[in-house]
């Protein structure tokens, strides 16, 4: 007759119960609170002085870095400060100015097209409603929420590649579609948190929780992360993976907010 197992040994062999939705929501909100302490200065990383500049910069930021956009837009905005100016520009001249951002022909078509639409349909003013913004050429929900949240103070969730990656890593969602992710995340957090949540998650994704080699060993929220261990766990090696001000380097903005802890980015020069 074999040895009987004690109840405690049976318990040890049981697989952990799946996380309930309530537990996930509590964990997600705690991540947001702790990221707020890590990044009290979280902000949009595109330089802008008004809604039009932010809209143009956001469109230009596709498939490139915010730093490259910030290095490019001063000359663009100096020459074409208003939608009317940009709509009436020579495409070849605009292409040359925005060439460093990549895909410059398609982006020129978009920013000139949206400028013309703002001029013709909205009296030369960037509209402050989602349903209007998404009618503009080259403007989808992600771009619209960036503009609404940061130029108009309208709460929105910006689901870019960083936000999507971290939301899935943290088991907030298993969706792949940005619109579905946005809808799911909106049920987890109060509306008043949506814009700042977006900044904090994107900040963390750019600085610590990278796509290929997350700096797990230097991450301040490992105790809340179900994906801990996917990246470098050695603290010294992980610290070397940190980017921007956390790694002792400038951020993306040439004109960062007053409370930004790092140095302004260089006006010219290659991106790391």
183/40 Cα distance (integer angstroms): 26
Is position 142 annotated as part of the catalytic site? yes
Is position 160 annotated as part of the catalytic site? yes
248/178 Cα distance (integer angstroms): 32
Set 47, 66, 107, 160: catalytic member: 160
Question: Taking the CB of residue 29, how many other CB atoms lie within 10 A of it?
Answer: 15
E strand or H helix at 165: helix 161-169
Q: 180-187 long-range contacts, Cβ below 8 Å, gap at least 24? A: 182/141, 182/157, 185/157, 185/159, 186/157
154/141 Cα distance (integer angstroms): 13
Decide: 75 and 94 in contact? Cβ < 8 Å.
no
E strand or H helix at 237: helix 235-239
Set 47, 66, 107, 142: catalytic member: 142
150/127 Cα distance (integer angstroms): 13
Residues involved in catalysis? 142, 160
């Amino acid at each position: 007759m074999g040895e009987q197992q004690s109840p405690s040994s049976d318990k040890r062999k049981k697989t952990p119960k799946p996380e309930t939705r309530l537990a996930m929501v509590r964990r997600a909100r705690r991540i947001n609170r702790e990221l707020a302490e890590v990044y009290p200065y979280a902000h949009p990383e595109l330089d802008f002085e008004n809604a039009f500049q932010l809209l143009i910069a956001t469109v230009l930021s596709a498939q490139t870095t915010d730093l490259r956009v910030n290095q490019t837009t001063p000359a663009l905005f100096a020459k074409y400060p208003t939608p009317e100016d940009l709509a009436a520009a020579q495409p070849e001249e605009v292409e040359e100015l925005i060439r460093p951002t990549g895909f410059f022909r398609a982006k020129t078509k978009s920013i000139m097209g949206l400028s013309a639409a703002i001029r013709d349909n909205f009296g030369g003013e960037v509209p402050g409603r989602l349903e209007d913004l998404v009618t503009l050429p080259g403007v989808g929900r992600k771009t619209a929420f960036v503009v609404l949240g940061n130029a108009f103070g309208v709460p929105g969730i910006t689901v870019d590649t960083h936000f999507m990656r971290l939301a899935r890593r943290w088991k907030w969602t298993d969706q792949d579609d940005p619109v579905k992710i946005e809808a799911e995340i909106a049920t987890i957090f109060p509306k008043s948190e949506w814009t700042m949540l977006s900044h904090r998650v994107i900040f963390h994704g750019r600085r610590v929780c990278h796509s290929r080699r997350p700096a797990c060993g230097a991450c301040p929220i490992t105790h809340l992360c179900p994906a801990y261990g996917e990246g470098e766990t050695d603290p010294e090696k992980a610290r070397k993976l940190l980017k921007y001000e956390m790694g002792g380097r400038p951020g993306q903005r040439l004109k960062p907010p007053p409370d930004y802890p790092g140095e302004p980015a260089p006006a010219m020069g290659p991106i790391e």
